[in-house]
Structure 1
Amino acid sequence: MTVVSNKGIILKETPKGIPKVDEHFELVHRTIDIENLKLEENEVVLKNIYLSLDPYIRPVILSNPASVGKIVVGYGLSKVVKSNNPNYKVEDLVYASTANIGWEEYSHFKSDAAFTLKHVNKELLKDTPLNHHISLFNVGGLTAYAPLMSIGEPKEGETIFISTAAGSIGQIVGQIAKIKGLRVVGSTGSDEKVDFLLNELKFDAAFNYKKIGIDKGLSKHCPNGIDIFYDNVGGETLDITIDHCSRFARIIMCGMTSQYNITNPEEKYKFKNIDKVFLKQIRMQGFSAPQYKGTDFEKACRRDLAEWVRAGKLIYKEDVSVGIENVAKGFVDMLNGKNIGKAVAKLSD
């Protein structure tokens, strides 16, 4: 193997709002000599196939001053091309169990970091697409499934409302809820996405919040109240939805995308309906997907999602950016709500 390209994306400076492709990211041209690279004990070299472009990267990684000048990292799926680690053989397909796959064509994993890599399930891979293993059969699927079941405790006939319903997590939550016999309502930011939710995912109702607003949308589509709210947005959307929640409703707090790009604490949304959480005896709980690792919820998640995908009961739509050159654009487009489904970048075959 000769010297090959290893282009990567570095963070040029910490964004103060939504990042801009040319202002905050830089494509750096590098090479890697895989054949002559000497690996220390337990080290591996990966060829990155897919990168997962997720909202959490904005508040967790891009807000950290220590990230400036370094390759941006996240979740991804890769192939082992060189190994000095007995747990990983050349050609093994692996994914990162923590967010440490670089936005680069190849990644050199040191000995400690290598142990965060997990093998792609070979049996599951036989009849499921490889790209589903970046998120659906990994952290994304667990993020949707486990809190819905453990916090939401869905019951047949209940009504669930999902914000950012056409996104990577919302699309999974809504379909699981339909399978469980719930009435599913989603909000999203375009008529095209509303069409996707209604006609492809078969939601019971969906609306474009940019046209009619959250309050009017919920008044129309949830006249009898909301039993479960799976929230990806926070801020005013959460506040308004609390007002529409039924007694004993469960609110699952997955994300706060409306607040991620606000750097001045004084500009954060101030809640008006928070008192109704105790007046209505609402349970409102946040979570972190890793808390479900190794639990019965994780086992059930993998079993059920695989069964539903094989049976055609669950559709998983992805919005794919192709090439390392388009990773930053794909990420920024996702933050601006231009994606339908899970935003990913494909770097290689």
Structure 2
Amino acid sequence: MTSATARQIVLASRPTGGRAALSDFRLEDVPMPVPGEGQVLLRVDYLSLDPYMRGRMNDARSYAKPAQIGEPMPGESVATVIESNNTALPAGAQVLVNAGWVSHTVANARDLSPLSADGITTRAYLGVLGMPGFTAYSGMAAIGKPKQGETVVVGAASGPVGSLVGQLARIAGARVVGIAGGAKKCAYVVDELGFDAAIDHRASDFADQLANACPKGIDVYFENIGGAVWKVVLPLLNQYGRVPVCGLMAQTSGKNADADDGLAATMRAILTRSLTVRGYINYEFLPDYRDAFLRDVGGFLRAGQVKHLEDVAIGLENAPQAFLDMIDGRNFGKVLVRVSGEV
């Protein structure tokens, strides 16, 4: 054991006015947890920060229970066993654990997923081979279903979900257009990820640029943004277009909470163009697609057909700022926090 105390970041208050702030979080020192019979003590190495966490800060009905005031923020981590009362998980074993924003935790073996690097860094199981990657894979496999020669447009294209969506569409033979914020991110999705084009949604002529990049319209739009971007995409959707909806970052950030959402135009387009607009939470597809996801994306990753980028903050105390930066789009790649200085 490396310390007599552990640390955690708890939800100190619920955001007001839609925007989250540093004051909504609190860093605490707590007693080091002690493993009971059959349990293990884990040192968190990497914590995953993801957009869904913003919704958990609200006391509102959703697909998951809200975070509670005074309790650690939720989150998945890669962790190392440092003390074991279970022969199946010896000291040194690495696992996936849903422990939240903490430095150490105690867990039962049945609640952990042992990891084997197998040529891939274990922290990849928080990104391209984890929940974000599965969100991309399952949404495209079950809803998007890109075909050879179709046009696929991807919102938040440089992020951990959008970047894999576009690469999977490219592998399927589609023309891929990414939407991202800023020249650096747009260059990355074209030059590094192999998208056919990328459009900066901050550009004054964003609508014209997107239309020019999609001369045959849009067959699949992977929705990760909402707001003003959706209103530009909507007129370009082709008959029988498919729209997997996994996120609405424009609303999540709180920036556009009062903006006109264009609901009437959206519903009319769904009707007149026979659009499929399907919201989903990734875990509903786990039984049907998890094995294929690990096989296919793991294979693409090892073969160099899929690339991924990580944006790593150092220290648990810096998780709140890294999280707020992500919500505002200031990150570049999958956001992780390196919690342990020993990794």
Q: Could you say whether these structures have the same fold, taking a TM-score greater than 0.5 normalized by the shorter chain as the test?
A: yes
What is aligned with 1:177?
169
> Which one-letter code corresponds to 2:169 in the other structure?
A
**Residue aligned with 2:96, SS:** strand
1:57 maps to 2:53: yes
RMSD in angstroms over aligned alpha carbons? 2.2
Asked if 2 retains the 8 angstrom alpha-carbon contact of 1:240 and 1:273, the reply is no
Aligned 1:78-89 pairs, distance under 5 A? 78-85=79-86, 87-89=88-90
Asked if 1 retains the 8 angstrom alpha-carbon contact of 2:154 and 2:166, the reply is yes
What is aligned with 2:19?
18
Asked if 2 retains the 8 angstrom alpha-carbon contact of 1:262 and 1:268, the reply is no
Please give the alpha-carbon distance, in whole angstroms, between the structure 1 residues aligned to 2:21 and 2:230.
27
User: Aligned residue pairs: how many?
Assistant: 334
Comparing 80-89 and 167-176, the one that deviates more: 80-89
Asked if 1 retains the 8 angstrom alpha-carbon contact of 2:42 and 2:82, the reply is yes
Please give the alpha-carbon distance, in whole angstroms, between the structure 2 residues aligned to 1:62 and 1:92.
35
| Displacement of 1:19 | 1.7
Please give the alpha-carbon distance, in whole angstroms, between the structure 1 residues aligned to 2:292 and 2:238.
29
Q: 1:24 to 1:220 in 2, by over 3 A?
A: same
What is aligned with 2:113?
118
Question: Can you list the C-alpha shifts for 1:9-64, whole angstroms capped at 9, x where unaligned?
Answer: 1221111233222x2112223342x6xx3x33443321101111100000124556
What is aligned with 2:123?
131
Please give the alpha-carbon distance, in whole angstroms, between the structure 2 residues aligned to 1:19 and 1:79.
31
Gaps of 5+ in 1: none
What is aligned with 1:6?
6
What is aligned with 2:144?
152
Please give the alpha-carbon distance, in whole angstroms, between the structure 2 residues aligned to 1:56 and 1:203.
26
TM-score (norm 1): 0.89
Gaps of 5+ in 2: 61-65
What is aligned with 1:195?
187
Of 245, 249, 271, the residue aligned with 2:241 is 249
1:240 maps to 2:232: yes
Please give the alpha-carbon distance, in whole angstroms, between the structure 2 residues aligned to 1:260 and 1:216.
26
1:303 maps to 2:295: yes
Question: Can you list the C-alpha shifts for 1:198-257, whole angstroms capped at 9, x where unaligned?
Answer: 211121110111113542232121121000000101233223322110111111101111
What is aligned with 1:279?
272
Question: Can you list the C-alpha shifts for 1:77-130, whole angstroms capped at 9, x where unaligned?
Answer: 11122233465333221113xxx3221210123x5xx5332111x2xx121122
TM-score (norm 2): 0.90
What is aligned with 1:44?
40
**Residue aligned with 1:30, SS:** strand
Q: 1:71 to 1:41 in 2, by over 3 A?
A: same
Q: 1:2 to 1:256 in 2, by over 3 A?
A: closer
Q: 1:200 to 1:66 in 2, by over 3 A?
A: closer
What is aligned with 1:186?
178
Please give the alpha-carbon distance, in whole angstroms, between the structure 2 residues aligned to 1:89 and 1:14.
39
Aligned sequence identity (%): 30
Q: 1:171 to 1:2 in 2, by over 3 A?
A: closer
